[in-house]
Structure 1
Amino acid sequence: MRSFEDDPKLLDMLSPERLKRLLSLIETLSSHSLRLEEKYLKEAEPVEFNLECLAWLHCPGRPDVQQAAARLLEFILMYVGKYRLAANMHHDTTRASYAELERQNIALQVSEARFRLLSEELQTRVDAQVKIIEKTQRQLYESARLRAVGQLAAGVAHEINNPVGFISSNLRVASDYLNEISEKLPDDKNTHLMLEDFRALLSESVSGARRIATIVTDLKTFSNIDQADFTPCSLNALLGTTCHLLQAEHKATLPLRMELTELSPLAGYPAKLSQAFYNILDNAVKALEKEGGEIRIISRQHQATQEIIIEDNGCGIPQDVQACVFDPFFTTRPVGAGSGLGLTVARDVIAAHEGEIQLDSQEGQGTRITLRFWNK
């Protein structure tokens, strides 16, 4: 719509159809024929708008009608101009308002995008903090358990080592006395049988005392009582100690087959590594449901890494839950049969030693867990 800032023309004010209709109406009112031209007409009346001549109106032989019709046309053009002016002002105001709204909308979108980004960043930080808190809670849980085991081991070592020492010493002395007594007893069959039984009893008692001492030593190693927090350690030795404790816990000779290769010392936390080995081996023992089941423990030395492989031919893990086995508190055992933290703790321990843990399992065939540590 024209703003009329420059000089308008007649056709800018009224379209040809409306201008023709307006002239027809004026002719009807005046009962005379009128002629309207934009060019100068002799004896015609000028039609002005804002002091500018827009056209010439001619009514032959009737100058009075011509003048009145011109003034009427100017009057109508004045209101047309006012209408156009108001319409243009409304248009300009609306366009300015729309531009302002559009600017505000863009600013709002930018602000929304910024806040969305801040929200996502905050959520990322919250998730990271939650993971740190969960990991810390698990570490505190395991630390408390290890501390309890350590205190128990210290008490066991203090309370049992001395009596076991007395027992072992007395059994050795009793063996010596038995040799002396045997020389003074009658040399008959019954006496020989009795002495053989007595020696067998003493031998079994000595073996039992040694077994007690070995268990106490393994328990101390497992709980890291007499070692620094960070020290070079032998993975093979830690595996052996863990297997002894596991066999003692289950009160049976477990079907363990160890294929250990000499490994270079690894700097780490012996107690935590032992705990990780124990958790994995304990899961393997509980997975053995069929007779003839076996657990293989393999250690390998590579140029860049050391590997510990613990595999069993037990029940295996269903494919649909394998992605969850390292999640905290996830367990496939009945309620109350497990905490669901065994593999989670093992994974965290291996990660703390900058290593990695890999699980491969097939339901009904068994599970293999590979622990990989990098040589430094």
Structure 2
Amino acid sequence: MSNLEDDPSLDDLLAPSHRARLVQLLSTLSGADVELVEDPDESVSPLEFNLDTLGWLKTTLPKERHRAAIQLFELFLLYAGKYRLAANLHLDVTEASYVELQQRNAALQASEARYKKLSEQLQQQVEEQVKVIEKAQQQLYESARLRAVGQLAAGVAHEVNTPLGYIGSNLAVAGDYLDEIEAKLSLDDDLAIVFEDFRALLGESRSGAQRIAGIVLDLRTFSNIDQAEFTSCDLNALLTTACHLLQAEHHQTLSIKSHLSELPELEGHPAKLSQAFYNVLDNAAKAIDGEGVINVESRFRDGVWEINIEDNGCGMPEEVMARVFEPFFTTRSVGAGTGLGLSVARDILTAHRGSVLLRSHPGQGTCVTLCFRLD
């Protein structure tokens, strides 16, 4: 349909079929010939709409009836024009509403996209904050654990070493007294057996006291209560201490085979390195469940310190290996593990510019390699 600002033509107002029908009806009503013509002559009258001539009407009617036919035709054109105007207005309003709806829809889609993006950003921020909180909890847990071990070691060293010195000294003096008494007495066979048993008892007591002193020393080395900053570390000594503590925890029943090569000292935090070694060893001990062997190796080559801790225990499937470094992930029953062992060990290695490599197969054991590199 034409624009409202255009001057309508006869075809715009009445379709050819409608014009033909109107001319036929006028002919029937008037009983005369009525015809629309394109070329004007003396026998025709103009059909006007809004002061514009749209065509000419030719009839055989008398002048007054001819004029009435013209007016009737123009009346039809007037109402056709009004209909056309209303239709155009409706179309324009509909198109404007459709354009407005499209704009609103585009605005809603843009708003939805913004909110979706904002939601994704918020979700990402929440996940990052959760990771930060979990890491902070992990660090607090391990810091508290290290402090507790350090305080325990300090307390044991203070409370045990002094009476242990008395015990060791007294046992040595008791041995000397026993030798003097034996030299002055004439011993029969029964009394000689008693003296022999007495010496064995004193020897076992001295051995027990030395073992206690060794455990105290291992605890001090493990917690390193006298050293808080990075210092030169003997990795073999720290590794040996961790093995001793693990053996003591398992009542000397673990089978640990050590193959330690000579290593240069490494700048690091002794207590944290000891914690990393102990965590890996503790995992290996739980994997063999007292029935296997743990092999511990150390070597230095091409500027890399390597500590291998391997067990012949149950091993791990791939789906477990993919999650072993996640904080608080554990396959053990409730209360049997915190799920922080390997996660903490990896963080400690990372802080020392190192890395943790893991190899494992179900039923074939696990090998954990701790690597430290020169700067």
| TM-score, reference length from structure 1 | 0.90
**What is the Cα deviation at residue 68 of structure 1?**
1.8
Q: In the alignment, is the contact (CA less than 8 A) between 2:150 and 2:225 conserved in 1?
A: yes
1:202 deviation in Å? 3.2
After TM superposition, the structure 1 stretch with the greater mean CA deviation from structure 2, 47-56 or 22-31, is 22-31
User: 1:115-130 to 2 correspondence within 5 Å?
Assistant: 115-130=115-130
Greater Cα shift, 333-342 or 358-367: 333-342
Name the aligned partner's letter for residue 302 of structure 2: Q
Instruction: Report whether the alignment pairs 1:356 with 2:352.
Output: no
Matched, 1:152 2:159: no
Q: Give 2:73's aligned residue.
A: 73
Structure-to-structure mapping, 1:296-335, within 5 angstroms: 296-335=295-334
- Please show how residues 1-376 of structure 1 align to structure 2 within 5 Å: 1-60=1-60, 62-186=62-186, 196-289=196-289, 291=291, 293-376=292-375
Cα distance in 2 between the residues matched to 1:110 and 1:93: 25
Change (3 A) 1:40 1:233: farther
Cα 1:272/1:70, change in 2 over 3 Å = same
Shift of 1:127: 0.8
Pick closer, same or farther for the CA change 1:353–1:120 going to 2, 3 Å.
Answer: farther
Between the aligned partners of 1:168 and 1:355, the Cα distance in structure 2 is 43
Q: Any unmatched runs of 5+ in structure 2?
A: none
1:57 counterpart letter in structure 2: L
Tell me which amino acid in the other structure corresponds to 1:137. Answer: Q
Whether the aligned pair in 2 keeps the contact of 1:326 and 1:347 (CA below 8 Å) is yes
- Change in Cα spacing, 1:360 to 1:68, as seen in structure 2 (3 Å) is same
Seen in structure 2, the aligned counterparts of structure 1 residues 147 and 289 have a Cα distance that, compared at 3 Å, is: closer
In the aligned structure 1, how far is the partner of 2:116 from the partner of 2:232?
Answer: 49
Question: Could you tell me how far apart the structure 1 residues matched to 2:178 and 2:194 are?
Answer: 11
Tell me, yes or no, if the aligned pair for 2:263 and 2:300 is still in contact at 8 Å. yes
Contact kept, 8 Å, 2:32 with 2:61, in 1: the verdict is: no
- Write the distance in 2 (CA, Å) between the matches of 1:354 and 1:34: 107
How many residue pairs end up in the alignment? Answer: 375
SS in 2 for 1:75: helix
Change (3 A) 1:118 1:338: same
Which stretch shifts more, 58-67 or 174-183? 174-183
CA–CA distance in structure 1, aligned partners of residues 210 and 342 of structure 2: 33
Distance 1:90 1:231, change over 3 A: farther
Q: Cα distance, 1:104 vs. partner? A: 2.6
Deviation at 1:203, TM superposition (A): 3.2
The CA distance in 2 between the partners of 1:71 and 1:302, in whole Å, is: 115
Query: How many Å separate the matches in 2 of 1:57 and 1:320?
Result: 94
- Native 8 Å contact 2:44 2:56 kept in 1: yes
Q: Is 1:185–1:191's contact at 8 Å kept on the other side of the alignment? A: no
Aligned to 1:324, the other structure's residue is in SS state: coil
Listed as ranges, the gaps of 5+ residues in structure 1 are none
Letter in 2 for 1:24: Q
Question: What is the CA-CA distance between 1:179 and the residue it aligns to?
Answer: 4.5
One-letter code aligned to 1:368: C
Give the 3-state SS of the residue equivalent to 1:363 in structure 2. Answer: coil
> What amino acid sits opposite 2:56 in the alignment?
W
| CA-CA distance at 1:178 after TM superposition | 4.3
Inter-CA distance 107–300: structure 2 relative to 1 (3 Å threshold): farther
SS of 2:153's equivalent in the other structure is: helix
Preserved CA contact (<8 Å) 2:253 2:290: no
Contact in 2 for aligned 1:309/1:371 (Cα 8 Å): yes
Paired with 1:196 and 1:117, the residues of 2 have a C-alpha distance of 86
CA RMSD of aligned residues (A): 2.4
**In 2: Cα distance, 1:354 partner to 1:42 partner:** 111
Question: CA shift at 1:324, angstroms?
Answer: 3.0
Q: Percent same amino acid among aligned pairs?
A: 59
CA contact (8 A) 1:38 1:54 kept: no
Aligned mates of 2:299, 2:195 — CA distance in 1: 49
Residues 279 and 345, structure 2, Cα contact 8 Å, conserved in 1: yes
Larger mean CA deviation between 233-242 and 313-322 belongs to: 313-322
> SS of the residue aligned with 1:369?
strand
Pair 10,296 (structure 1): closer, same or farther in 2 beyond 3 Å = same
- Give the conservation status (yes or no) of the 8 Å contact 2:34–2:59: yes
